[in-house]
Amino acid sequence: MSAKRETILSGIRPTGRLHYGNYFGAVRHFLRLQEEDKATCYYFIADYHALTTVTDRQDLYGNTVEMLRTYVACGLDPRKSVIYRQSDLPCTAELSLLLGMITNIGLLERGTTYKDKLSKLREDPKAEGNPLSYGLLGYPVLMAADILIVKADIVPVGEDQRQHLEMAIDLATRFNSRFGETFHVPRPISRDALRLPGLDGASKMGKSDHNTLDLLDDPATVLKKIKAVPTTTEPAPLDTDSNDADTVVPKMPSGVGVLYRLLDLLAPREVFLEFLEEYRRGGKFYGNLKKAAAEHCSKFNEPIIARYNDPANSAAAVEEFLRENARRVTPVALETVEAVRAAMGIGHSLYRA
Ligand code: ATP
Ligand code: MG
């Protein structure tokens, strides 16, 4: 008899356009898991979570749809993976409330996202963004609800989310020992830790840092952004004979490093090696390097932009698969919440009967 097919869960915040850091740090892994087809992949757009950072009145629903069109353009397939919107499972909010009843505030105060925000506000009380909200403090509880409600088996996370995932596992385990076996406890797996530097030479490309190269950037925008990457005329010696990008890129000035990293990710190996030779020889090659990097990035973006604009990938098509996938995940989510209600002594919801 074959073992039960496992489920993998990942959440995505609908906070804007997708950039190369998102693609090579996350989306590329989603695509690999989808194609391996060893487990069912659940991807949800975390619109409740986004409310802790949205500052102006924003069209969150519109952002969600645009972001989903980009994911589909990258190759995420709503027929192969289950892609849904967090708020289409409103019982997640109920589960979060119930879990909150047994969550210690001390634990939440040690949450990294909360602590980061707190220290930013201490440095600058007028800092941009929302105040320290109840929602932000409770973020790990809502994240636990997201994971537990669909009975996920595997949750791949980057380093930034590792602590929150451990809190979710801990909450589920404590719940089970206090109220009886109710939750399916997931296991974490780490994603490879590629971190793409920003186009401004900062150590990380990120939306909030406005230093991104985006998947929907047209060739003129790509060229303009790449031309503006800071490069020094005197490259530092590499002190190594290695031709491995993971070894050489960190030894380069950061602006130069990001250009080599882009070639490493997108260009044929011989192109990367040719430019590495140039680097070792010294001389004036940055103009050509930038031109080559821009060409490969534009070539990479071209099919994504075309699929983004494909009429089959319209907002209406996204709404259709959101509706269908919400219907697919709702039964398992309701089953979980009903089990938790029963375990805690609340009983069946007449509203849902
Ligand atoms: P923000 O600035 O709002 O935090 P972001 O640009 O960092 O946005 P996130 O929404 O935080 O993007 O991240 C989405 C996913 O992309 C996460 O899995 C994150 O680990 C990954 N990611 C983001 N930036 C990079 C990067 N520079 N290199 C590799 N992975 C990244
Ligand atoms: Mg981030």
| Domain extent listing, the chain | 7-196+314-352, 216-309
- Give the rounded distance of the alpha carbon of 58 from its chain centre: 20
- Tell me whether strands 154-157 and 40-45 are parallel, antiparallel or unpaired: unpaired
Q: Which CATH superfamily is domain 216-309 in?
A: Tyrosyl-Transfer RNA Synthetase (1.10.240.10)
- Is-catalytic flag, 117? yes
Taking the centre of ligand 2 as the mean of its atom positions, its distance from the CA of residue 117, in whole angstroms, is 13
The pLDDT, as a whole number, for residue 130 is 67
Q: Which ligand is nearest to the CA of 160?
A: 1
Atom of ligand 1 nearest to the CA of 157: 18
Q: What is the pLDDT of residues 188-198, one digit of tens each?
A: 887 767 889 99
Fold of domain 7-196+314-352:
Rossmann fold (3.40.50)
- Angstrom CA distances, 301 to 23, 24, 27, 172, 295, stand at 11, 13, 14, 41, 10
Q: What is the pLDDT of residues 57-107, one digit of tens each?
A: 678 888 899 999 999 999 999 999 999 999 999 999 999 999 999 999 999
Q: Which residues of the chain have pLDDT under 70?
A: 1-3, 16, 55-57, 128-130, 192, 233, 353
**Ligand 1 touching residue 204 (CB < 6 A):** yes
Taking the centre of ligand 2 as the mean of its atom positions, its distance from the CA of residue 307, in whole angstroms, is 26
The pLDDT, as a whole number, for residue 340 is 97
pTM of structure: 0.89
Catalytic residue chosen out of the listed positions 38, 204, 227, 299? 204
Atom of ligand 1 nearest to the CA of 197: 27
- Is-catalytic flag, 227? no
Atom of ligand 1 nearest to the CA of 160: 20
The pLDDT, as a whole number, for residue 314 is 96
The pLDDT, as a whole number, for residue 1 is 46
The pLDDT, as a whole number, for residue 353 is 60
The pLDDT, as a whole number, for residue 56 is 64
